[in-house]
Structure 1
Amino acid sequence: MNAIVDISIVIPVFNSEKAIPELISRINQVVDQISNSYEILLVDDFSLDNSWEILKELQDKNDNISIFRLSKNYGQHNATICGIKHAIGNVIITMDDDLEHLPESIPTIYKYFIDQQYDILYACPNKRQKNFFRNFLGNFWNYLLKLSNKGISDASSFRIIKRSLAENVALHQEPFVYIEAIVLWYTNNIGQITIPFGKRKHGASNYTVSQLYNLNHDLGMHYNTHVLKFLRNFGITVFLCSFILIIYFLLKKIYGSPVPGYTSLIIVALFSTGSILWGLGYLGSYIGKMFRVLNKEPQFHINEKKTKEFQK
Structure 2
Amino acid sequence: MSDSSIISNSTLQISIVIPLFNEDESLPPLHDWIVKVMEKNNFSYEIIFVNDGSTDNSWNVIEELAEKNKNVKAICFSRNYGKSAALDAGFKIVKGEVIITMDADLQDSPDEIPELYDLIKNQEFDLISGWKKKRHDPLSKTLPTKIFNAATRAFSGIKLNDFNCGLKAYKVEVVRTLNVYGEMHRYLPVLAKWNGFTKIGEKVVEHRARQFGSTKFGLERFTNGLLDLLSVTFITRFKKKPMHFFGTLGLLSFFIGFGIALAILVEKFFGSNMIIEREPVDMPIFYISLLAISVGTQLFLAGFIAEMIVIHSNERNDYIISKEI
The match for 1:53 is 60
Query: Could you tell me how far apart the structure 1 residues matched to 2:257 and 2:215 are?
Result: 53
The match for 2:176 is 170
Identical amino acids, percent of aligned pairs: 24
What's the CA shift for 1:100? Answer: 3.6
The match for 2:272 is 255
Query: Could you tell me how far apart the structure 1 residues matched to 2:208 and 2:55 are?
Result: 24
The match for 1:310 is none
Query: Could you tell me how far apart the structure 2 residues matched to 1:153 and 1:298 are?
Result: 29
The equivalences for 1:161-310 within 5 A come to 161-163=170-172, 165=173, 169-170=175-176, 179-180=188-189, 181-182=191-192, 184-185=194-195, 187-200=197-210, 202-205=214-217, 208-209=221-222, 212=225, 215-216=228-229, 218-225=231-238, 228-250=243-265, 252-253=267-268, 254-256=271-273, 257-259=276-278, 261-270=282-291, 273=294, 292-293=313-314, 297=316, 300-306=319-325
The match for 2:3 is none
Q: 2:244 is matched by which residue type in structure 1?
A: K
The match for 1:88 is 95
The structure, 1 or 2, with the larger RCO (C-alpha pairs under 8 Å, 6+ apart) is 1
The match for 1:39 is 46
* TM-score for the superposition, normalised by structure 2: 0.70
Q: 2:286 is matched by which residue type in structure 1?
A: L
Aligned residues: 296
- CA separation of 1:251/1:273 partners in 2, compared to 1, >3 Å: closer, same or farther? closer
Alignment pair present for 1:11 and 2:18: yes
Q: 1:250 is matched by which residue type in structure 2?
A: L
What's the CA shift for 1:238? Answer: 2.0
Q: 1:243 is matched by which residue type in structure 2?
A: F
Query: Could you tell me how far apart the structure 2 residues matched to 1:42 and 1:230 are?
Result: 39
The match for 1:108 is 115
Instruction: Indicate if the aligned counterparts of 1:121 and 1:192 stay in contact, CA closer than 8 A.
Output: yes
Gaps of 5+ in 1: 147-151, 307-312
Instruction: Indicate if the aligned counterparts of 1:46 and 1:69 stay in contact, CA closer than 8 A.
Output: yes
The match for 2:168 is 159
Gaps of 5+ in 2: 1-7
* TM-score for the superposition, normalised by structure 1: 0.73
Instruction: Indicate if the aligned counterparts of 1:175 and 1:299 stay in contact, CA closer than 8 A.
Output: no
Instruction: Indicate if the aligned counterparts of 1:6 and 1:89 stay in contact, CA closer than 8 A.
Output: yes
Instruction: Indicate if the aligned counterparts of 1:3 and 1:88 stay in contact, CA closer than 8 A.
Output: no
Instruction: Report which of the two structures shows the higher radius of gyration computed on alpha carbons.
Output: 2
The match for 1:149 is none
What's the CA shift for 1:10? Answer: 1.0
What's the CA shift for 1:11? Answer: 1.0
What's the CA shift for 1:41? Answer: 0.8
Query: Could you tell me how far apart the structure 1 residues matched to 2:234 and 2:28 are?
Result: 38
Query: Could you tell me how far apart the structure 1 residues matched to 2:97 and 2:25 are?
Result: 30
Query: Could you tell me how far apart the structure 2 residues matched to 1:162 and 1:70 are?
Result: 26
SS in 1 for 2:40: coil
What's the CA shift for 1:93? Answer: 1.2
What's the CA shift for 1:95? Answer: 1.6
